Amino acid sequence: MSLLDFDFMRRALVAAALVGLIAPLIGVFLVQRRLALLGDGMGHVALTGVGLAFLLGTAPIPTAMAAAVAGAFLIEFIRYRSRTAGDVALALLFYGGIAGGVMFASLAPGRAASSLNSYLFGSLSTVAEGDIWALALLCLGVVAVVAVLGRELFAVSLDADIAAVQGIRVRTMSTLMAVLAAVVVVVGMRVVGLLLVSAIMIVPVAAAQQVTRSFRATAVLAIVLGLTASLTGLVGSFYVEVPPGPTIVLVALLSFAVLAVVAVPIRRRRREVR
Amino acid sequence: MTHEHPHGDETPATSDEVVGLSRVCVEFDGDHVLEDVDLSIRQGEFVALLGPNGSGKTTLVRTMLGLQPHSHGRVALFGRPLSRFRDWQRIALVPQRLPGASSIPVSVWETVLSGLISPKRRWRPLSRTQRAAAAQALTDVGLWSKRHERLDTLSGGQQRRVLIARALASGADLLVMDEPTAGVDAENLASLTTLLAGLHEHGTTIIVVTHELTGIAHLITRAVVLDPHSRETIVFDGPPPVPGHHLHDHVHHHESELGRPGVVELEP
């Protein structure tokens, strides 16, 4: 029996493709702004949303979304208010997110706490029919925002001061970037899991930038790597019967290692040409 | 956004003032970095903002561009109060380097084009004219052949030239440059000087923040010297000393005897 004969597997593949596409798309901006850990923090905060959903009996995706977006605004607020203490303040927020998530889930009736695991590391079977449409819509939103505002986001991540002197609203763009990261976290929550979803934002970008010479090429290659990692990782986890999150991230890390080796002769040749 | 009238971006015809500061104060944690600063820069001037480190020259520039909030006074750009100024494509800031260029590869060409990004063109792609201007600017700084290279693989002087091309591409008529000559070798310095002289000739207003005038002294039409230890922030404002006579020696001299009105010697 082929894996495509399973409805749940088809849905999981679509969800994996969606996150593989948009996670590196937002990741390039985060890495360029040196905010690689922002997505990580957002995942922790979203976990509180999931715990709350268990406790209140609401749908996990909208609740996690609300928590992550609230987290995005809070993080930008903290970063703006305290340049120096921002690092520690963010750490507090992240720990609070994890603790809150586990706490709420444990207080919730039934077996909520045990299904929290599938939110932490991803699962093949939890993507529901209705989820697919919600995830697709969110992805479409992210792609549309980047299509229109991507250049301004790029300018802000290159140098916030000169972006401001070009008339770009730096704070709005920073907040937008955090919100976009929050959306990616929620889209990747089911398949990759909240603890590892930010890896799919960062690892393909880190892998791609070893061999590229431009921002655009980095973004394109990172998306290709992200898609490849999330699809092959998902299929792999179907056969090996492990959670998909770790498998996807390990495939992405493998692409990093391969490109690290490939990059050496490429750089040498470029140097010789010059 | 508030546009009082349809042609809100137009500069009042009566004034050719590009930057106007009046009684501007800036404080950091209660410390007055700038105190009652009055400064008016007119179109076509080539101004050097001089002073030792910590004298507030960077703060002054950041304040006039709205990057640093001020506690008192008024700042105007092209005759409009800062809060109502929208014509940002008239201004280009040339930083010493781009902090974001070293985390993800950014090509030379992407760097130059990034100078054309504007919220006003959010819904439109770059026009052919804009791309042509960017190509011309990169050719003018002599780095067209490097357009596909990673910016951070170029030498410091070449990166500086790319950042200048970035500013030129936007067609700005006010150029604000942070230490344009610092760490630039002799060859790059010569091409930089030629470039700036050409811009100045075409009427571009240029403000350089620097602590050394090496190489560009003969281009300066006005020197503004800041001193953190004087009661007035600006201790000298006037034409630079005769070419060959090194203003920069005096600034250093002054720096070494803080508190003494050493800059008086600069008076022509």
Using only C-alpha atoms, chain B has a radius of gyration, in whole angstroms, of 19
pLDDT band for position B266 (cuts 50, 70, 90): very low
Judged by a CB distance cut-off of 8 A, whether residue A166 touches chain B is yes
CA distance B218 to B205: 16
Average pLDDT value for chain B: 81
Residues B206, B196: contact at Cβ < 8 Å? yes
Options 1.10.1740.10, 1.50.10.10, 1.10.3470.10, 3.30.750.200; which CATH number does A3-195 get? 1.10.3470.10
> Mind telling me how many Å the CA of B264 is from chain A's nearest CA?
35
> Mind telling me how many Å the CA of B127 is from chain A's nearest CA?
14
Domain ranges, ordered by start, for chain A: 3-195
The pLDDT score that the predictor gives to residue B256 is: 37
CA distance A269 to B234: 53
Q: What is the pLDDT along chain A (274 residues), one digit of tens a residue?
A: 677 888 888 899 999 999 999 999 999 999 998 888 888 889 999 999 999 999 998 888 899 999 999 999 988 888 777 765 667 777 888 899 999 999 998 898 877 777 888 888 888 887 888 888 989 999 999 999 999 999 999 999 999 999 999 999 999 999 999 999 999 999 999 889 999 999 999 999 999 999 999 999 999 999 999 999 999 999 999 898 888 999 999 999 999 999 999 988 887 777 666 5
Domain ranges, ordered by start, for chain B: 14-86+174-246+257-263, 104-172
Measuring CA to CA, how many Å separate A253 from each of A13, A165, A195, A266? 20, 38, 16, 20
User: B10-67, pLDDT tens digit by residue?
Assistant: 444 457 899 999 888 888 877 778 888 889 999 999 999 988 877 788 889 999 999 9
- CA atoms in the 13 A half-sphere facing the CB of B145: 3
Residues of B with Cβ-Cβ distance to A215 under 8 angstroms: 104-107, 110
Which of A158, A209, A214 lies closest to B100 in CB terms? A158
Strand bridging mode B222-226 / B46-50: parallel
Token pair of B224 as six digits: 């503004």
The pLDDT score that the predictor gives to residue B1 is: 42
Residues B24, B34: contact at Cβ < 8 Å? yes
The pLDDT score that the predictor gives to residue A131 is: 85
Q: Most B CBs within 10 Å: which of A30, A146, A159, as the mutation test of the B interface?
A: A159
DSSP character at residue A159? -
User: B133-145, pLDDT tens digit by residue?
Assistant: 999 999 988 899 9
The pLDDT score that the predictor gives to residue B268 is: 34
Measuring CA to CA, how many Å separate A273 from each of A270, B74, B108? 5, 54, 17
Cβ of A164 and B89 within 8 Å?
Answer: no
CA distance A240 to B264: 81
Q: Which residues pair with B76 in a beta bridge?
A: B20, B81
ipTM computed for the complex: 0.88
Measuring CA to CA, how many Å separate A86 from each of A78, A82, A124? 6, 5, 36
Instruction: Kindly report the backbone phi and psi dihedral angles of residue A175, in degrees, each rounded to the nearest multiple of 5, phi listed first.
Output: -65, -40
Residues B151, B111: contact at Cβ < 8 Å? yes
Four-point Cα dihedral A76, A77, A82, A86, nearest 10: -50
- For the beta carbon of residue A19, count every other beta carbon within 10 angstroms: 28
% pLDDT > 70, chain B: 84
pLDDT band for position B188 (cuts 50, 70, 90): confident
- Mark residue B36 as left, alpha or beta (left: phi above 0; alpha: psi -120 to 50; beta: remaining): left
Strand bridging mode B80-81 / B91-94: unpaired
- For the beta carbon of residue B191, count every other beta carbon within 10 angstroms: 18
DSSP character at residue A6? -
Cβ of A34 and B103 within 8 Å?
Answer: yes
Which of B67, B110, B117 lies closest to A215 in CB terms? B110
Residues A141, A183: contact at Cβ < 8 Å? yes
Cβ of A158 and B95 within 8 Å?
Answer: no
Does CATH place domain B14-86+174-246+257-263 in 2.40.70.10? no
Cβ of B117 and A155 within 8 Å?
Answer: yes
CA distance B176 to B196: 12
Strand residue runs (E) in chain A? none
- Note the Cα A86 to chain centre separation in Å: 21
Could you tell me the sign of the dihedral formed by the alpha carbons of B131, B132, B135, B137, in that order?
negative
